[in-house]
Structure formats: C-alpha cells, structure tokens
Structure 1
Amino acid sequence: MTAAPGATLVIGATGTTGSRTAAGLLAAGHRVRAASRNAVAAPPGAEPVRFDWYDPGTHDDALTGTDRVYLVPPVGDPDPAAVMLPFLRRARARGVRRAVLLSSSAIPEGGPATGEVHRALPGLFDAWAVLRPSWFMQNFTSTHLHATTLRDTGAFSTATGDGRTGYVDADDIAAVAVRALTDAQAPRTDLVLTGPRALSHDDIADVLTEVTGRPAVHHRLTYEEMCDHLIRAAGTPPEFAALLARLDLAIADGAEDRVTDTVRRMTGREPNDFRTVAAREGAPVP
C-alpha cells in the first residue's frame, strides 16, 4: 500500500468500525480526518472534525483536504440515501475520488436502507467498494441491545429461531476497510464479510457461558414480540424496529447461513472466531 496524497475522512470515527478503521489507517501511515458529531479527538494522531449527516453546514469543512471517505450511515435511519446521496455528490465535486461504504450482508444493492446508496456509488466514483459484513460479534460485547440485556439479565432475545449467522469481528471489518481505502486498485465491488463459522444464537449463548463461566440464555421471540422488544427495550423507532425484526426472520430462513473467504483474501490472514473475541473483549454476562 502507498500513502494517499490527501487525507481519508472517516465518518463515524468514534463508532465500532470507524474507530478501528481510523486507527488502522494511522498505523499504516495515512492521514485521517476523524468525523463525529462532537469532533472528538480520537484516535490519537487523527484530526478531529465535526460532522453531522443532518447538518449540511458541517459537510464542506469535513471534506476539506480529503480525497477518500469511509462512509458509516446515520444510525437508525430507514432512508439514509436521503442525506447520504447529496453529501456524496458534494464530496465528488470537492475532489473525493474513492468511497467505501459500510452496508450489511443482509441488504443487497438496490435494497432498503443502504441498498440505495450501494446502487448509486459506482455512478459517483470510479474507485469504490461496499463492505457488506454479517452481524457484528461486538453486538455481544459492547453497547448493543444484546450486550445490554446480557449485562442486566444474563439473556438476549431474537426472532432468528435455529437460523445461523456468520458473525464477524469488527477488527476484521476495519482491516478490510483499510485495504479497500488504500490499495492501489479499489475493489470496485461489494465484499461480503463473515467470520470463520456460522453460529446459531443458541451457539452464541453456549460460547458466552463457556467463556464467562456464567449462564447466558437466548430467548426465542416471534416477529411481533421482537418488534415490541426493540421498541420497548432500546427505544427503536417502530419502522426501523420492523426492519430489524424482518432481518431476524430472514436469518431464521437461512439468509445469513454462510461463510466467505473475503477477510483472508483482503488481509492475508484468517478472520477471528467468536470465542476469541468474547474472551478478548469480555462478555457482559452478570
């Protein structure tokens, strides 16, 4: 990899993948503008800049001196294209030449939410990639609803039934993001990212129990119960709660029961497994 002449704007630089991507870019010798709503000075060595998807007045300043951008969509917005596409057109006009979008393995090109941004990206930039990770292993170790309810009650809930998911470590997502942003040739495709093994949520509970030595339980809910759980326990807007619950049903039907070799192909190493991440980050089982 060779250092870019301009800086990389990392949107969501205090978040799960953004913070790791910014740190990886800095470690590889690249300049980083770390964008967040409060312009937090993190990670060390990055230039903090204020950025709010819903405040266009922050966009030009954030883009100053950048020629590539890592895009984390606005959290919880069922129609992120409404704010992302005007920003991306502005970014292109301001000299951004490469864009890497964080999407989801559950959302195809042209699908809901980030699917519309995915579809538009190749028409906006010659150098681009769409990262489509499976669900994050960090959902069980950080501030996600699963981790919160595990911490409070020793249990978490889904409507996935026996469905399996190729959970992926956020460290691996960030490692792929760094390569997609800085390799001489951009991927110019979407990249489905998974861990090394597809797990059911009962499997996840078993691993958490083994790692912590304390019981972890997976509660199986219906679609309607899951919608209510998301709204009541996490304050999720009803429309977005319905979308998330439908994704659980897709998992139950086998939509995420797969593993890919993308992490190995892009980084040269095998992806981390869930047991390793749970032990490394500490599973919040009371």
Structure 2
Amino acid sequence: MQKILILGGTGKTGRRLARRLEAAGRPVRTASRTGGNTPFDLAAPATWAPALDGVTAAYVVEPSLQAGGGRIPAFVAEAVAAGVRRLVLLSAGGVGAADDSHPLKAAEEAVRASGADWTILRPDWFAQNFSEGPWLPSILAGTVSLPAGDGRTPFIDADDIAAVAAAALTEDRHSGRTYQLTGPRAIGFGEAADLIGQATGRPVRYVDIAPETHVARQLAAGVPLEVARLFTGIFAAIRDGSAPEPADGVERALGRPARPFEDYVSETAASGVWD
C-alpha cells in the first residue's frame, strides 16, 4: 500500500486530509515545521529526503506565497527522483488566468511536467478563514473590514478540499485533472457576517474599506508590498464582480454537491470557537 506524505500536515486542509486517510487505513506521514510526525520545512532542503523516504504519493502545499515560486518545483523534482509517483497540488483559484509572476504558476507547471500522475486543486476562499485564519480576530471583535465591496464569492469548506485531495491521492481516475473548488453559491462578506452573527447570537458586521487602506494595513503588519498587492487584488476582483462563479469541481470529484456555507457556520458556531 502506498505511503502518503502530507505537506502542511497540521494546516487547515492537511490535518483534515490526514484524518480521512488514517480513518481509511492508509499509511500517512504528516510533514510540518511543528506538530507533524515528520519535521519538514520547504525552506530547509535537508529536511526533504527524510520526509520523502518510502513515500509514493504526496500532497504538496506552498505555505507562504512570500517565498516566491521556486520551492515547489525543486521539491517536486526531488520527490519524483525519490520515488513519488502521484502528486496532488493545492494551488488557488485564479492561477489559471494569472500571468507567470503568480508564485503558484511555476508550481502547477512543475507538477504537470513531473512525469508523475498529478492532480491540481484550485480552491476559492476557504470558509475556515472566518474561524481558523486571518479573519477570526475580526469576527471575535464584531467587525470584519475588507476591500471587497458588495461583491460575492463562493467560499469553499476545507473539509471538501480534504475530501477531494483524499480521493485524488488514492484513486486513479483523478490523474491529469484540475479541479476548481468552490462552494455551491456565491455570497458577500456582509451576508457571511450576518450568518455568523445569527448563529452566535451577537452582532457581527462587515465594513468595506478602500483597497489602498488594506494594502497599508498589510504593510503595517509586516507583509511584503508585492504580497499585499496580490491579496488586495484578489479582494478587488470580488469588489468589481469578477470573482469566480460557483464551479462543479467538488461534484465532479466526489459525486456530491459542495457543502453550503450555512452548514459550515452552524457546525463552527456549535464548536464554540466564536464564543
């Protein structure tokens, strides 16, 4: 039976993927700088070979767009040389239309040209950003300030991403496929805030801010200018109505619809993370 390596094995999708595979009896190695069962750092190539030892399939994640686009191609080359025969790459929505400056463009090209079986996942904004990521402090404070205007986007549940990744790592039929992963409908940040507020029983509001204000706040938080502009540009796409439409990637991969945002909100509110 294949041994599966999960980069970012303690992250939003990685830990969910590990749970699924382990429950199915698959040998799993979770690779992470902290918390995984194998020490691993994309910035430290000396950690790659031990993580790849005996592995035949890998879930590949670039945890930091600030690192540029060279780390994943180098890792993919070493992985295939070490015997990995199946690669599943966590990319991002919009990479297909992006120019070559996007850090994940080179990662996608490297996976396709690797000679291994490959699947590329392009998820939209994670619903879990409201509960496990950058927007959680804002939810707890009661105000989410972002430059998305009244635009709408189809938030994807990280559990759905993990389910598609598990299928792609263990089933032959996903080889050579690129899946655009979104939720079943697009919603605005105002509606998302309202749904969370209703589920928690306390006010949560969304405030639109100017894109240049968002860039300035990112810079003040230590984010490099290029990355701050990249993420602000994604919000701007939502703002001007050019965010992705709901896609059928989850249904194509799993034979069922993507999970609604409302289900994510209900389950997360019950967990107490927003209390």
User: TM-score, normalised to structure 1's length?
Assistant: 0.89
User: Following TM superposition, by how much is the alpha carbon of 1:191 offset from its aligned partner in structure 2, in angstroms?
Assistant: 0.5
Does 2:258 align with 1:262? no
> Structure 1 residues 23-32 or 172-181, which shifts more?
23-32
1:78–1:239 contact (8 Å) kept in structure 2: no
Which residue pairs with 2:26 in the alignment? Answer: 30
Which secondary structure state, in structure 2, belongs to the residue aligned with residue 145 of structure 1?
A: coil
Which residue pairs with 1:124 in the alignment? Answer: 114
Does 2:157 align with 1:161? no
Does 2:275 align with 1:279? no
Which secondary structure state, in structure 2, belongs to the residue aligned with residue 215 of structure 1?
A: coil
Which secondary structure state, in structure 2, belongs to the residue aligned with residue 226 of structure 1?
A: helix
| Structure 1 residue identity aligned to 2:95 | I
User: Following TM superposition, by how much is the alpha carbon of 1:202 offset from its aligned partner in structure 2, in angstroms?
Assistant: 1.1
Could you list the runs of 4 or more consecutive aligned residues of structure 1 that deviate by over 3 angstroms after TM superposition?
Answer: 283-286
2:124–2:181 contact (8 Å) kept in structure 1: yes
Which residue pairs with 2:5 in the alignment? Answer: 9
In structure 2, C-alpha distance between the alignment counterparts of 1:100 and 1:125, rounded to whole Å: 13
Which secondary structure state, in structure 2, belongs to the residue aligned with residue 77 of structure 1?
A: helix
**TM-superposition CA deviations, 1:248-274 (whole Å, max 9, x none):** 111122232411222122223222111
1:137–1:170 contact (8 Å) kept in structure 2: yes
Which residue pairs with 1:45 in the alignment? Answer: none
**TM-superposition CA deviations, 1:101-125 (whole Å, max 9, x none):** 1011122276401122112211103
Equivalent of residue 14 in structure 2, options 2, 12, 18: 18
**TM-superposition CA deviations, 1:204-237 (whole Å, max 9, x none):** 11111211121111111111101122233x5423
In structure 1, C-alpha distance between the alignment counterparts of 2:111 and 2:65, rounded to whole Å: 21
2:174–2:253 contact (8 Å) kept in structure 1: no
In structure 2, C-alpha distance between the alignment counterparts of 1:126 and 1:285, rounded to whole Å: 42
Equivalent of residue 54 in structure 2, options 65, 69, 74: 65
Identity among equivalent pairs (%): 35
Aligned Cα root-mean-square deviation (Å): 1.7
Structure 1, unmatched stretches of 5+, are: 42-47
User: Following TM superposition, by how much is the alpha carbon of 1:167 offset from its aligned partner in structure 2, in angstroms?
Assistant: 0.2
User: Following TM superposition, by how much is the alpha carbon of 1:85 offset from its aligned partner in structure 2, in angstroms?
Assistant: 1.0
| Structure 2 residue identity aligned to 1:7 | K
Does 2:234 align with 1:247? yes
In structure 2, C-alpha distance between the alignment counterparts of 1:213 and 1:257, rounded to whole Å: 31
Aligned residue pairs, count: 271
| Structure 2 residue identity aligned to 1:122 | R
| Structure 1 residue identity aligned to 2:49 | D
Equivalent of residue 129 in structure 2, options 133, 139, 143: 139
